[in-house]
Amino acid sequence: MKKLLLLALLALHCAAPARSQTVNFTTEEYPPFNYRDGKAIKGATVEQVEKVMADIGIDYAMEVLPWARAYSLAQSQPMTCVFATAHNALRDPLFKWIEPLLVDRNILITRKGSGVVAKDLEEAKKYIIGTQREDYTEMVLREKGFTKLDVATDFNATLRKLLGSRIDMMPISEIYFEKLKTDQPVEMVTMLSSQPMGIACHKDFPSDLQARMQAALDKLIADGTQKEIFLKYGLNLGN
């Protein structure tokens, strides 16, 4: 009897840290979806994550990092999730998913007056395309046979290269492009891909917690909160 009681107490002692452990979120600098504003982290996907975690009452931490680092931590560190992550066939088995934070299409853009013209992806391959290291767009471009790639650490570095005529095109969220083109001299060239974007958690992330997070996200989509958040950031999803 004493032995059974001791085993039960040991089991509870081992289980307690896992239940109380903080969920660590990583993301990148990609306004208006996720970005730093002083010491605060803001954005249309950030607010969704915050509401999901508030709904289920679980402690969390959030950090903005270069994408390659943010993505790597979610693969290597338990209780870590990265967002907003494109969900494709190659990535599917690497994570546990909570989605969609958005469903987006990616396009290739250039700076106005660049002279870059491509009616399809085959014609686009002759140009230098900028993207971010370990970003899913790098994967998409390589899978589609693009070889002239300029890989930077983050989105802002790629955008600076485009505006500075150091690259010819770059991939970008179509949603974000609608906002960016009001501030920057850029224009669309051609379509690249379409995919859901979600929260990608370490493959050993607790399945019950994943289910609770998914239910909370489903609820804020169903009640219109997700759409309200996007409109707040000037993003019209057209749905």
56 CB-contact burial (10 Å; exposed 0-12 / middle 13-18 / buried 19+): middle
Helix (H, G, I), strand (E, B) or coil at 197: strand
Q: Cα–Cα distance between 108 and 94 in angstroms, integer? A: 27
Contacts of 180 (CB under 8 A, 6+ apart): 172, 186
pLDDT at site 237: 61
Amino acid at 100: P
Q: Comparing C-alpha atoms, which of 173, 175, 179, 181 is closest to residue 155?
A: 173
| pLDDT, tens digit (0-9, with 9 covering 90-100), for 9-45 | 444 444 434 445 799 999 999 989 999 999 999 999 9
For residue range 198-233, what is the model confidence (pLDDT) as tens digits? 999 999 999 999 999 999 999 999 999 999 999 999
Locate the domains of the chain by residue range: 23-103+196-233, 104-195
* Inter-residue contact 105 to 238 (CB < 8 Å): no
| Residue 179 confidence class, pLDDT cut points 50, 70, 90 | confident
| CATH fold match for the domains 23-103+196-233 and 104-195 | yes
CATH of region 23-103+196-233, choose from 3.30.830.10, 3.30.465.10, 2.102.10.10, 3.40.190.10: 3.40.190.10
Q: Are 98 and 198 in contact (CB under 8 A)?
A: yes
CATH node for 104-195: 3.40.190.10
Entry pTM: 0.73
Q: Cα–Cα distance between 62 and 42 in angstroms, integer?
A: 11
Query: Which are the contacts of 194, defined by CB distance < 8 A and separation ≥ 6?
Result: 103, 104, 105, 106
